[in-house]
Structure 1
């Protein structure tokens, strides 16, 4: 009887755990919910193996095989989001599987009817094997998907599936002074793919040097075209450059050759670096940036405040523009401490001789507050979303006609 009541108690505990996990996921805590679910399953399986599924001469322990299923699910989740906590849970599942499978751990306090034990052994064996097979199939599907994704990404460059869109950058009067060129992947199978979804994979495949080179070449051609039009020649163009591009030995030569080939004015070209470049060989980075500065190119530090930058880096790096990350901009209106931080960053940057551009501005309230701090350039949905080159050109034409 004790064994039957324990089964009821475990089912109740499983229901409560499942409900808690569901609520976590509904509230947006997907990662925590998935990890909590694995931990709860592991605890239930271990308790079942120690108290209910004790080995006998007629029926071996079998429930511990479910631990392999939980470990496999954990591995799939690890591929989605790398986490030390996830690795620890996988390790604990495998360790518990080895212990329960090797040691004849029994409980003298719980007695299950022999018929229930026999039926449970066969049922658990079939169920655990089926679930493990399903996990293996899911792993194979995921690997196949990633392989196909990689092949499609490699083919995208040669099939001319990439496109640049342009997000306006404005001054304090909201007049367009330039744009940031943003990469999009127009996949025949997937539609329009955001860089957030494919840049990391491109880095792993070693494609960012080639893709980044395409972006720079296409951006410089656009800048050269603007230079032939009196209404456009004042515009600057910002282009993102990855750490792998910067550290490539031929990067400076490639930039110089691209400028010469396209005829773009380097005085209107801005190369944006993320703070991740600062974790590489800093002296080499400084030398490379100095070489770019000698060409007349402006260097900008993107997403300032989210990574590794410090005052010492700001003083040493030959940068001319600081881009304040959108997270600080959006918090500034509602948080006095965030507002004070943004104000300090603006003052510090301007004291060091850097221009300041605020990213992610979405409301006039944010614009007005930043303007009070002295931020003289802005970018965000308030002024325009990323748009095709023709739409950006039409925007400039409208502004020109309006000021005529």
Structure 2
């Protein structure tokens, strides 16, 4: 992934995070207001235990709101879910005990927690979050289907619970409706984009951009080809936004095949000109595309059809391929390596990196993720990690390419530490093929 794409990815993630931050901060304020209201009611009734419970809920909301406001959304979400799960379960077992006059309603908030957890899971998939969602749903079913409570419970009076049941039920339903609206809006956006991507495939509306890759002397080694998509309504759309949608819609395999074929056409053209015949071309391959049963055969077919030198083609894979059957992954790589195709591991150091995986994978290149590069001149820790990745590549006879190079200082530091290949704004932005070729011809003149 180029530095441009990584920057756009950050902007897209920021937009999604801002929506979740707004929804979560609003929910914190709503729940805190309800807790304070009931705290005052119970205070007037001298129900000190209940005052403490409502105070705890308000405190959790306040802390969560503050954590979110200061940029620690993930911590706030996990903390609040666990705290409110415990508080809600305690309320149901000790205070909100159903009777013939008033039903139990506190357990409705467990559905709100489960929905909040699901929204967070869509943002950041993790097993702990799945466990919390499951606990919320199990607890909801248990409290909805049984009058379960502590033997030493001290139920609220029916008078308080009747009025409270209406308020709590309305608030819980309103929060569920709000969450459903947010998810429906996201679904409609995704569905609309998936349909537009399908049309773009039919109409051949995608374009490609090429970003230079250079050696330690600044000489052109080749380029990375990058997918671009623009619509009349929205203009250019970030790959970080449309690629995940294409993956979900099952379109990425076809889009990836189109990119590979166009890349091979470019290599065939370059072979006919002395100033470009030495250049390599890096093509990004998604995990779903690489794991297709006939992927390696489709690559071999493209090489044969376009009559290109296989050593000029480089396939960039993300570390997500490692979650698949490693025997299948390694076998595919060996078939491609056998004919001369190079394999590059993109965004190295950010995903499923493992020395045991790296030892087994027949790769030619590691692409150091830009997160290690962007502050390599300011952060001692980033500089140390970058040096370690470079040394790892040297020890394993694997080339290391640093992406996201934007300053001469970054370039010099990484070059002096043994990095041999570079990519970033310092050497050129992604540009259309014609402009890239003009740059190459100018440099060769």
TM above 0.5, one fold?
yes
Structure 2 counterpart of 1:179:
223
* Contact 1:4 1:112 (8 Å CA) reproduced: no
The correspondence for 1:77, drawn from 112, 115, 120, is: 120
> Which 5+ residue runs of structure 2 have no aligned equivalent?
1-43
Structure 2 counterpart of 1:29:
72
- Per-residue CA distance 1:15-42 (angstroms, 9 max, x = gap): 3222211221123222222233333443
TM norm structure 1: 0.82
Structure 2 counterpart of 1:369:
413
Instruction: Tell whether 2:439 aligns with 1:395.
Output: yes
The correspondence for 1:357, drawn from 401, 404, 421, is: 401
Structure 1 counterpart of 2:24:
none
> Which 5+ residue runs of structure 1 have no aligned equivalent?
none
* Contact 1:18 1:37 (8 Å CA) reproduced: yes
* Contact 2:111 2:137 (8 Å CA) reproduced: yes
- 1:76, CA displacement in angstroms? 3.3
Structure 1 114/317 Cα, relative in aligned 2: closer, same or farther at 3 Å?
closer
- 1:175, CA displacement in angstroms? 3.2
Structure 1 127/15 Cα, relative in aligned 2: closer, same or farther at 3 Å?
closer
Structure 1 348/116 Cα, relative in aligned 2: closer, same or farther at 3 Å?
closer
2: CA distance, partners of 1:374 / 1:82 = 36
TM norm structure 2: 0.75
Q: How do residues 117-136 of structure 1 correspond to structure 2 at under 5 angstroms? A: 117-136=161-180
Q: How do residues 1-400 of structure 1 correspond to structure 2 at under 5 angstroms? A: 1-2=44-45, 5=48, 8-50=51-93, 53-101=96-144, 102-103=146-147, 105=149, 115-188=159-232, 190-307=234-351, 317-330=361-374, 332-334=376-378, 336=380, 339-350=383-394, 352-400=396-444
Q: Counterpart of 1:179 in 2: which secondary structure?
A: strand
2: CA distance, partners of 1:108 / 1:85 = 32
Q: Counterpart of 1:63 in 2: which secondary structure?
A: coil
Structure 1 274/54 Cα, relative in aligned 2: closer, same or farther at 3 Å?
closer
Structure 1 282/106 Cα, relative in aligned 2: closer, same or farther at 3 Å?
closer
2: CA distance, partners of 1:134 / 1:349 = 50
Larger Rg: 1
Q: RMSD of the alignment, in Å?
A: 3.5
1: CA distance, partners of 2:349 / 2:95 = 54
